[in-house]
A and B are shown apart, each in its own frame.
Chain A
Amino acid sequence: MSEMEQERRGTSHQQHGGQHHHHSQHKKKFEGPKREAIVDLAKYKDTKIRVKLMGGRLVTGVLKGYDPLMTLVLDETVEYLRDLEDSSIILKDQTRDLGLTVIRGTVLLSLSPVDGSETIYLQMED
């Protein structure tokens, strides 16, 4: 394993070294998409978040933990149930309590804080 580790380090170093020059020149002006995590879940820790999942489920809960794959640990998880006829309609008043849950990062579609979010009424734009 450490051998593999070495090897990977070596390659990464090479790559970096070889292209570092150009990269640093351009970094400020024009940047490429990021490979590292773009959201720091630490800032949501112990706060309530709203998570949408593949398949249409919607849950809220207090973020207790996470990993780099965005697997989440939510406490006091509440799932919002959906309409009997049209499962795309989420019923705000029908919920079920799931308690402490682990949510797979692979099925996570969107994540937003509950604090500071509010229902608004849209105005027709044109």
Chain B
Amino acid sequence: MSETEVILPLEIIDKTINQPVWIILQSNREFTGKLVGFDDFVNVIIEDAVEYITDNHNQCDTELRHHGRMLLSGNNIAMLVPGGRR
């Protein structure tokens, strides 16, 4: 049954609440952190975020650490990867 059922994207995101998430923006910027919450526009709040600015998506150039919570506008988010960065 669940094999044939369509997985709803927002349910997937919901299940990653309180777990590490990897958020890839449209630009060459990525964030990881613990997913605190999100809304229907996929604005996202993450905790203790690490920001990665990649060099044309090939190598990781810069790592910025942010403490506390961060709100990411859903506008620029392209992909969300549950489980964090690989």
Complex: how many Å from CA A65 to CA B7? 4
Distance in Å: Cβ of A59 to nearest Cβ of chain B = 7
Complex: how many Å from CA A103 to CA B22? 12
A83 interface residue, CB < 8 Å from B?
yes
Complex: how many Å from CA A101 to CA B23? 10
Are A84 and B58 in contact, with the CB atoms below 8 A?
yes
Given contacts A65-B6, A72-B9, A73-B12, contact A81 B78 (CB under 8 A): no
What are 19 A-B pairs at a CB distance below 8 A? Answer: A42-B6, A57-B79, A59-B79, A64-B6, A65-B12, A77-B79, A83-B56, A84-B55, A87-B57, A98-B24, A98-B79, A98-B86, A101-B81, A102-B9, A103-B78, A103-B79, A104-B79, A104-B80, A107-B77
A81-B56, A107-B77 given; 8 more Cβ-contact pairs under 8 Å: A65-B7, A73-B8, A79-B57, A81-B58, A82-B56, A87-B57, A97-B86, A104-B77
